[in-house]
Amino acid sequence: MQSWERARRTLREKIGDRDFETWVQPLRVAEPHAGKVAVFAPSKFYRDWVSRHFLDAIRASFCSDGEDPPEVLFQVETGRQRELFAAPTPEVADNSSSAAPVVRRSVLRVGNLVPRYTFANFVVGTSNEFAHAAARAVATRPGEKYNPFFVYGGVGVGKTHLVNAIGHAVLAKNPFAQIVYIPSEGFVNDMIAALRRDRMDEFKSRFRKVDLLIIDDVQFLAGRERTQEEFFHTFNTLHEGHRQIVLTSDKYPKDIPDLEERLRNRFEWGLTADIQAPEMETRVAILQKKAEMEGLSLPADVASFIASEVTANARELEGALTRLAAMASLQSSEMTVPFAASVLGPQRRERLRTVTMDEIQRAVSDHFGVTLSEMKSKRRTQRVAFARQIGMYLSRRLLSTSYPQIGQKFGGRDHSTVIHAQNAVERRLKTDAALAAAIEKLERTLTQRTT
């Protein structure tokens, strides 16, 4: 039977770095004994997820040739077990006595930080430079500046990376800092488990005595009244104690549906920063950084080609590079532009003509019979306001321009107005076939080739 240290290496190779660091790294595992292995998870959420998705892989990772896999016993880690598993911290001696007791303080981590998500590995571009600068400031003076720090943006744009980087930077300055990093679903599940077992005091103590609380995807608290109630009091306790709160979401606080007004208000107390889809230069830099971390030789022209074809987010970029590197290794091929085109062919986006916001505004004004000056004015008649919302929606959809930039082009409006317009159009598209047809026609007219 292999040791856990060897089993970890086997398991990482089998499930990949991302899943390993997200789901396996937080586990505490006792060495196998009598055909059994005890696995301690930081929460019920982690325990259930890992047992459902990685049980067979964990069992197999312990096996040497011909051995039967061990029985894996999953448990939720208690405070006492956490102390036993915690790595020793530096000793603090009392100079008044040569026999002074050793003082150790274990670091509380619920859902360990992802090791590779640091500031050093975060690629900064115009799409995220404000959020990055703010995150640096938060990490330098946690609990003092920008509290809470609320980061929002679409899927795969780097929110989770950035908030993990804050955690790593705080730990680098203070190895004894108590940090909780957990997805909002984990917070919900932990609270439900505490209620069921009548352990709410333990739950409250766990989350209200930390130095840094990081909640990922906080939008999933929406509609959960009891959880929002508990999080409201947790937020207040931490904020009043000058403990740092960091939150991520896919929406601006005001646009999270079914969120209590008092929470929405508190989310806006500190600093709110958005991250957009990366622009071309940043996409190239992300690919180069990923290749450097993976030890891959990525020619500049190939990086530029991938970046021009995969435009959605950093996650898809990394996935494309991983696929390309795997195929190059399997086929013993060099990474060239023609090879990349053949490998990424099914994922390649249809090339579209470059569109400007001025063109979008003109097309919308022509289609809906309003003037450009009306669209940029303060007029709020139904006809003008509707055309303005369509223009904002198309600007966001076709250009991935930031909300503030779009607002400026539409008469100097606030970014929240643009977000509201986008959400309003998206809701109406679900039931209005005529509007869907009109927008499809506008998109086709704007993006079709003229050559």
The type of residue at 189 is: N
Confidence at residue 97, expressed as pLDDT on a 0 to 100 scale:
35
Same domain, 116 and 200: yes
Residues 362, 243 within the same domain: no
pLDDT tier at 66 (50, 70, 90 boundaries)?
Answer: low
Q: What is the pLDDT of residue 8?
A: 85
Q: Quick one: average pLDDT of 369-396?
A: 89
Percent of the chain past pLDDT 90, that is, above it, reads 18
Residue at which a domain ends, from 247, 275, 303: 275
Same domain as 60, residue 186: no
**Residue located via tokens 């090791």:** 115
Residues 159 and 16 both lie in one domain: no
Instruction: Walk across the sheet containing 271-275 and list its strands.
Output: 109-110, 179-183, 212-216, 244-249, 149-153, 271-275
**Residue 192: its H or E element:** helix 184-196
pLDDT confidence bin for 1, thresholds 50/70/90? low
Specify the amino acid at residue 430: K
Range of the domain at 373: 357-447
> What's residue 173's pLDDT?
83
Closest CA to 406 of 435, 383, 376, 440: 376
Is there a single domain that holds both residue 27 and residue 144?
Answer: no
Q: What is the pLDDT of residue 84?
A: 39
pLDDT value for 94 = 35
> Which CATH number does the domain housing residue 262 bear?
3.40.50.300
Under the banding of pLDDT at 50, 70 and 90, the label for residue 78 is low
Higher pLDDT, 166 or 13: 166
- Measured from the Cβ of residue 138, the count of other Cβ atoms closer than 10 Å reads 29
**Rounded Cα–Cα distance for residues 79 and 415 (Å):** 45
Pick the last residue of a domain from 215, 241, 275.
275
Q: Is residue 237 in some structural domain?
A: yes
Supply the pLDDT for residue 361.
92
Of residues 377 and 45, which shows the higher confidence score?
Answer: 377
Q: Residue 264: exposed, middle, or buried by beta-carbon count in 10 A (0-12, 13-18, 19+)?
A: middle
pLDDT at 164: 92
Query: Which of 345, 286, 273 has the alpha carbon at shortest distance from 312?
Result: 286
What's the pLDDT score for residue 102? 32
The pLDDT, as a whole number, for residue 108 is: 42
Task: Give residue 15's pLDDT.
Answer: 86
Which of residues 275, 303, 318 is at a domain's end?
A: 275
Banded pLDDT at 77 (limits 50, 70, 90): low
Q: How many domains does the chain have?
A: 4
Q: Please give the Cα distance from 451 to 130 (Å, whole number).
A: 39
pLDDT in tens, 320-368: 888 888 888 888 888 898 888 888 765 544 444 567 888 999 999 988 8
CA dihedral 74, 77, 81, 86 (to 10 degrees): 110
Torsions phi, psi for 435 (to 5 deg)? -65, -40
Task: Please enumerate in sequence order all residues whose Cβ is within 8 A of that of 174, keeping only pairs 6 or more positions apart, or say none.
Answer: 211
Cis amide bond preceding 346, omega within 30: no
Please determine, for residue 420, whether its predicted confidence score (pLDDT) is greater than 80: yes
- 301 and 251 part of one domain: no
Is residue 191 located within the same domain as residue 246?
A: yes
Range of 31-40, 238-247, 364-373 with top mean pLDDT: 238-247
Q: Tell me the pLDDT of the chain averaged across its residues.
A: 81
pTM for the model stands at 0.56
Whether residue 154 sits in one domain with residue 49: no
Assign 449 a pLDDT band (cuts: 50, 70, 90).
very low
Supply the pLDDT for residue 56.
86
Rounded Cα distance, 194 and 199, in Å: 5
Reply yes or no on whether the pLDDT at 162 is more than 90. Answer: yes
Is residue 73's pLDDT more than 80? yes
How many other C-beta atoms are found inside a 10 Å radius of the C-beta of residue 291?
Answer: 20
Which pLDDT does position 89 carry in this prediction?
Answer: 34
Give residue 101's pLDDT: 32
Which range, of 83-97, 101-115, 233-247, 278-292, averages the lowest pLDDT? 83-97
